[in-house]
Amino acid sequence: MADKHLNLFYSYNASEDAELIENNLTRAFIQTLRALSGRTRNRLLWSLDKRMEEHDFSHAEFALQGHIDKPDCNCLDRYVATIATRAMDADEDSQSERETRESIPDAWLFDKDEHRYCLLIECKRGGNPLDQQQVLSHAKNYFGMDAGEAERRTVSLTWQDVLRAMEEALAQEPRPNEQEEHVLRSLERFLGFFDYRLFKGFSFAKLEPPPAWQLREPVRRALFRFDELRDVPGFRLSSSRVAASEQDGRFCFDQLEPAPTFRLRSATATVTAVKDRLFRLERLGAVPAFSLCNKKGGKHGR
């Protein structure tokens, strides 16, 4: 998508930092759930956690932040759903007591008519850590849970989990309708603005063909393609011992004779005994037994 503002969830703002905030991310997720049919919404939520399969979310109600009545929280099954990249480290400071007491959840998903379920949702974006103390405060203030029960009823998710659930919902038969697919793909791109993406491997099929590299042959000044090469050309090296009139002073590799037999010169041979001054490597005897000696001439081992 070339223009971000054509995305369903992206709007004009003063700056990038003003746009990419947690509240807008949470709102996009909730608005997507609201726009889906009951069947597709169930598929998505059931993919997030096995415990969600116990409920039918076809007629679910939604709320953002504090826009919910306390009686709607008193449902049979209550969950604390967290969507974050990481939990808060032990050495990080938690919110102050006042901030924790007054903090409110980011969103709600609940059954208003039969009060069978209620999901309290807390979202974090980017590297912002999930404050466990804040989550416990939510569970206590709205659900009356202690720390142990809150831990058992917590559904811990990441935005990658949400993206995977969306992919599963899109792939199941019968497929979502065109409008639902458009909404889900728009949320997928919107999450990408926050750098949340699923790695789906490399698509080599989409790579362009390699360019037709060409080499310039200096003599003919012609161009040729690698894919048109048949036989390896007969490369030649200049020979300083061949006259220029003989094969233009060049020779081909396939005309080379076997490798020469290298020989070492013997310093002990007389100058007149030419043949005796040379010996072949293949005629060398055993390696001599070298020995060490001290300054006084005493030998030490062999």
Per-residue pLDDT, 221: 46
- Which of 1-5, 27-31, 138-142, 224-228 is predicted least confidently? 224-228
Q: What is the mean pLDDT of the chain?
A: 76
Amino acid at 289: A
pTM of this structure: 0.63
Q: List the beta bridge partners of residue 118.
A: 78, 110
Per-residue pLDDT, 269: 47
Q: What value does the mean pLDDT take over residues 64-69?
A: 89
Per-residue pLDDT, 232: 54
Per-residue pLDDT, 128: 82
- Which of 19-33, 50-64, 77-91 is predicted least confidently? 77-91
In the numeric block, the tokens 């690698």 are attached to 226
Between CA 31 and CA 44 the distance in angstroms is 14
31 has pLDDT over 90:
yes
Amino acid at 108: W
Per-residue pLDDT, 290: 54
pLDDT digits (tens, 9 = 90+) for 90-132: 555 555 444 445 678 999 999 999 999 999 999 998 778 888 8
Per-residue pLDDT, 180: 95
- Which of 35-44, 76-85, 182-191, 236-245 is predicted least confidently? 236-245
CA dist list (Å): 205 to 201, 208, 209: 12, 8, 10
Give the closest residue to 37 by CA, choosing from 175, 187, 190. Answer: 175
Give the pLDDT band (50/70/90) at residue 257.
low
Q: Residues of 240-275 as b/e, b for ≥16 C-beta within 10 angstroms?
A: eeeeeeeeeeebeeeeeeeeeeeeeeeeeeeeeeee
Give the closest residue to 29 by CA, choosing from 77, 78, 80, 81. Answer: 81
Give the pLDDT band (50/70/90) at residue 8.
confident
Q: What whole-number percentage of the chain has pLDDT above 70?
A: 59
Per-residue pLDDT, 271: 47
Q: Which phi and psi (to 5°) does residue 216 adopt?
A: -95, 120
- Which of 149-158, 190-199, 248-257 is predicted least confidently? 248-257
pLDDT digits (tens, 9 = 90+) for 268-290: 544 444 455 454 545 555 555 55
Between CA 210 and CA 13 the distance in angstroms is 42
Give the pLDDT band (50/70/90) at residue 15.
low
